[in-house]
Amino acid sequence: MIPVIGLAVGIIAGLVFQPTVPTDLQPYLPIAIVAALDAVIGALRALGERRFNDRVFVVSFISNVVIAAFMVYLGDQLGVGSQLSTGVVVVLGIRIFANAAAIRRRIFHA
């Protein structure tokens, strides 16, 4: 129940306060979201496999977001920002798909 409430609170807070992201941080937001999505999907899979651990979830979430944002930042500093972003998205995308496939297998047995 609490996680669902958390989701709702996050969405409502975003809609109500409509915080603007500082221009300097804007390039990192999409990558951070993809990284966060990876952590969330992983958590869902772990939940399905009865391995879920909220501490692991929190740590993986934060580390994913921070590392992804850091890699994009580093790429920007090195002049290969878009390439590195693509690399991060590819890796995270594969993880997301793999985890989603595992969830699908568990639910539908297929």
Partner 1 sequence: MMAAPEPPEQVDGLLEKIADTALDDDYYVVRAGPHEQSRAFNTVLTGLVLAVFALLVAIAVIQTRSDRPATERERTTLINDIDSRKSTLAARESTADRLREQVADLQASVVGFDAAYEELRLLASDRGAAGPGLRVRTSPGQVLGSDITDRDLQTLVNGFWYAGAEAIAINGKRIGPLTSIRQAGGIIKVNYQSIGSPFEIVVLGDSEALEDRFAQTAVGRDWLERRKNAEVRFDMTRSDDLTVEAAPKDRLTIKHATAIEGDS
Which of residues 24, 27, 53, 89 is near partner 1 by CB under 8 A?
A: 53
User: Does 58 interact with partner 1 (rule: CB under 8 A)?
Assistant: yes
The region, left, alpha or beta by phi > 0 then psi within -120 to 50, assigned to residue 52 is beta
Residues near 41 by beta carbon (within 8 Å), at least 6 away in sequence: 95, 96, 99, 100, 103
- Residues 64/38, Cβ–Cβ less than 8 Å: yes
Which of residues 80, 86, 98, 106 is near partner 1 by CB under 8 A?
A: 98
Contacting residues toward partner 1, per CB under 8 A? 1-3, 5-11, 13-15, 18-21, 26, 29-30, 32-33, 36-37, 39-40, 42-43, 45-47, 49-61, 91, 94-99, 102
